[in-house]
Structure 1
Amino acid sequence: MGSLLGLFLVIQIVSGLFLTMHYASNIEVAFDSVSKTIRRDSNYGWVFRSIHANRASVFLALIYLHMGRRIYYKRYGNLHTWSVGVVLLALSILTAFLGYVLPWGQISFWGATVITNLMTAIPIWGRALVTWVWRRFSVDNAALNRFYTLHFLVPFIIRVMALVHLVVLHEEGSGNPLGVFSSSFKIFFWPYFGVKDILGALFVLSLFLGIVFLAPDIFRDPDNFYKANPMVTPVHIKPEWYFLFAYAILRCIPNKGIGVFALVLSIVVFFFLPWVGGVSYLPTVAYQIVVWLWVANFFLLTWLGGCPVKDTFTHLAQVSGFLYFSLIILFV
């Protein structure tokens, strides 16, 4: 799984470098630079754009699978390795959000407005921080330039953190599903693990290229094909699918400050697993059932985050959000 993440990180950086040559970070021309210059006027621009956009979904899905497998097998005990991995998750979500704003479609603009406005929940400095990000009374050209700069820089920080992740992994040693650490059970990396990684890469790349060429817009919101219009609010503002579970938790809480705290906690809670892991005395089968219930609840939250704001979905999200944290407490 780690080798796949490294492969897709390289693909993302290379495709992003080609796209940045044609993108214009100005609210007047940003939408046209993506929909016309990149997708129509540049040779294979639509391919690079589709690779770059859909790779984010595959990359986050692989991160979730990577972390989920470690949780399932209780292999989150290496404090430094796990903590750096959670930082990589947070940086990846941040980078994906910043990139989602750049096409400057309807959902890009209103999503940026909603998410950045959450900073007003920060005591004392919240309002000043939002004003600094916006520079004016709403998301404008200055904010787009800031998002573009950060979207370009953060992937290089992710690269550095990935190297740190590898270093601490080799310092502390990796685990395995059986929990065996004896040197007598170790085998050569090649050809056993090497062939496994190559076959896994070929399989995932086949699925990825199938999405790129056959369904390039499957993860995109239809409203984002319209240019940003501050005077028209979309019926339903939602982020990309990989952020919907946290968005559902945020939206189901009527208090803004508590909602933002719960949103942040939905990611930060993973930092505590190495510290409190092993406290639970659940039998193995019960532990696995709890983990699978948590995974099912995660998918339910993701679905609820994409649903419109209605009482039924809000109440269901409140129950699901409560279960999200309760089940984590159970299986640690």
Structure 2
Amino acid sequence: MSFPWAKHYEPKAPFMRWIDEKLPLPRLVYNAIGGGYPVPRNLNYMWNFGVLAGFCLVLQIVTGVILAMHYAANAAVAFDSTEHIMRDVNWGWLMRYAHANGASAFFVVVYLHIFRGFFYSSYKAPREMVWLLGVVIFLLMMATGFMGYVLPWGQMSYWGAKVITGLFGAIPVVGEPIQIWLLGGYAPDNAALNRFFSLHFLLPFVIAGVIILHIWALHIPGSSNPTGVEVKSESDTLPFHPYYTAKDGFGLGVFLILYFAMVFFFPNSLGHPDNYIPANPLSTPAHIVPEWYYWPFYAILRAFTVDFFFVPAKLMGVLAMFSAILVWFFLPWLDKSPVRSGHYRPMFRKFFWVLVIDVLVLGYCGGSPAEEPFVMISQLATAYYFLHFLVILPIVSSIERPEPLPFSITEAVLGSDDKAVLGESKA
């Protein structure tokens, strides 16, 4: 969004003027994150998670590049090279623990970022493209995380690769050729390990590129805010720097305290013990489970246990698992309410918290053995998950009666008067 009151970059030093004429990078940075980018003045700490996600990506790229210098993508020595990093490489243990726990931290902040978007309807016009690019980033993260989990070549790495790539075999006609093409053979081995390592190294840079598009798309309409009311005047905004750089800096400090507490004191708490056993194709683990951040979708995959007419249960599970994310692409058109913020939508707010509980239940069931009562609970939770997005959300957005919105962002921050509207300001 073009704000007429936004400050423009005007270099004073001769050298900076020359740089700005030849390569206007300082101007770009100033307009993107400096005083030239006005931001709604009422953003709370839920708006910190986008910056934290960007920090996590940089952290993963830096530690990943260092680890790649010492890792060998060969099935015969991959496990030993991982142990070599842990035991013999200077600070190798820190790089590996920072990378492994950094992946979990990345997913934590991204999940919080996504659910903040659900609550404040960040997917609504005019920010549909911001949301759609965000879902693409999440899908790329899922693929990158899965391929990274395979690289240590422990028991859970090997059997996780076998199970997940085996899902493609459920697709009629083309499924088995796709599975063989992904693995480079009929089972995970050198070819699969090399492919996964190459893609795991490449995809973070693809994610970085999509994030640039994500931020670019965000700067066109401007940031959303907790009220959902659009910016109306200069009094509704503050410069991003120094106000929100300071706020993001505080959030980053809290995040780093928690992150390094995990890295130094509980580095293996989120890993699986079986992954410290070298991969053995002849010994199947008692309970194959992916990383925790895949558990809700893994529960949806396992919820389908009975064939439906001519559709095998395995294929239905695969379709449902991918559809659980793909349905997010349609949220801008499923939610028809003129009000964005969940603070002013009492019925929507109740169902939002039911969805949060439902996803937590799916996550718990996904990490549990594939037995009763977890299978039945997964089936009920899966049914509600799709009902929420495809049935409940459209109906609620059509019938609920939202509460009055503040006239402006300034009014919401500094106090109200008798002007209150539903959706847009009075003429």
Note whether the superposition's TM-score is higher than 0.5.
Answer: yes
2:378 to 298, 317, 324: 317
Give the AA of the match of 2:101.
Answer: N
Partner of 1:157: 206
1:22 to 60, 70, 73: 70
Higher helix share: 1
Question: How many Å apart are 1:180 and its aligned residue?
Answer: 2.3
| Larger-Rg structure | 2
2:352 maps to 1:306: no
1:117 to 147, 152, 166: 166
Partner of 1:5: 53
1:193 to 244, 249, 259: 244
2:148 maps to 1:99: yes
Question: How many Å apart are 1:136 and its aligned residue?
Answer: 2.6
Give the AA of the match of 1:69.
Answer: R
2:237 maps to 1:183: no
- Distance, in Å, in 2 between the alignment partners of 1:168 and 1:179 is 18
Cα-to-partner distance string for 1:65-120 (whole Å, 9 max, x where unaligned): 01101110122112110000000001011101000000000000000000001111
Question: How many Å apart are 1:132 and its aligned residue?
Answer: 1.7
Q: Where do residues 177-326 of structure 1 align in structure 2 (5 Å cutoff)?
A: 177-181=226-230, 182-184=232-234, 185-254=236-305, 255-278=313-336, 284-326=345-387
Contact persistence 2:334–2:393 (CA under 8 A): no
- Distance, in Å, in 2 between the alignment partners of 1:299 and 1:39 is 33
Cα-to-partner distance string for 1:152-187 (whole Å, 9 max, x where unaligned): 000000000000000111112221111222133111
Matched residue of 1:172: which SS? coil
2:142 maps to 1:81: no
- Distance, in Å, in 2 between the alignment partners of 1:293 and 1:271 is 21
Contact persistence 2:73–2:193 (CA under 8 A): yes
Cα-to-partner distance string for 1:105-148 (whole Å, 9 max, x where unaligned): 00000000000011112232111111122233211110111000
Give the AA of the match of 1:15.
Answer: T
Contact persistence 2:355–2:388 (CA under 8 A): yes
Give the AA of the match of 2:135.
Answer: V
Cα-to-partner distance string for 1:241-269 (whole Å, 9 max, x where unaligned): 11110000001102011110000001111
Question: How many Å apart are 1:49 and its aligned residue?
Answer: 0.2
Matched residue of 2:244: which SS? helix
Query: Unpaired segments of 5 or more residues in structure 2?
Result: 1-48, 306-312, 395-427
Question: How many Å apart are 1:279 and its aligned residue?
Answer: 5.2
Mean Cα deviation higher: 8-17 or 178-187: 178-187
- Distance, in Å, in 2 between the alignment partners of 1:70 and 1:159 is 20
- Distance, in Å, in 2 between the alignment partners of 1:119 and 1:156 is 26
Matched residue of 1:320: which SS? helix
Give the AA of the match of 1:294.
Answer: L
Contact persistence 2:361–2:381 (CA under 8 A): yes
Contact persistence 2:161–2:188 (CA under 8 A): yes
- Distance, in Å, in 2 between the alignment partners of 1:211 and 1:75 is 31
Matched residue of 2:71: which SS? coil
Matched residue of 2:373: which SS? helix
Tell me how many residue pairs correspond in the alignment.
331
1:58 to 95, 99, 105: 105
Give the AA of the match of 2:296.
Answer: F
- Distance, in Å, in 2 between the alignment partners of 1:314 and 1:166 is 40
Contact persistence 2:67–2:85 (CA under 8 A): yes
Contact persistence 2:334–2:389 (CA under 8 A): no
Contact persistence 1:301–1:317 (CA under 8 A): yes
CA RMSD of aligned residues (A): 1.4
- Distance, in Å, in 1 between the alignment partners of 2:302 and 2:197 is 27
Cα-to-partner distance string for 1:223-257 (whole Å, 9 max, x where unaligned): 11100001000011010011110000001102011
* TM-score normalised over the length of structure 2: 0.76
Cα-to-partner distance string for 1:194-215 (whole Å, 9 max, x where unaligned): 1110000000011000000001
- Distance, in Å, in 1 between the alignment partners of 2:130 and 2:229 is 18
Contact persistence 2:155–2:274 (CA under 8 A): yes
Give the AA of the match of 1:101.
Answer: V
- Distance, in Å, in 2 between the alignment partners of 1:280 and 1:164 is 27
Give the AA of the match of 2:110.
Answer: I
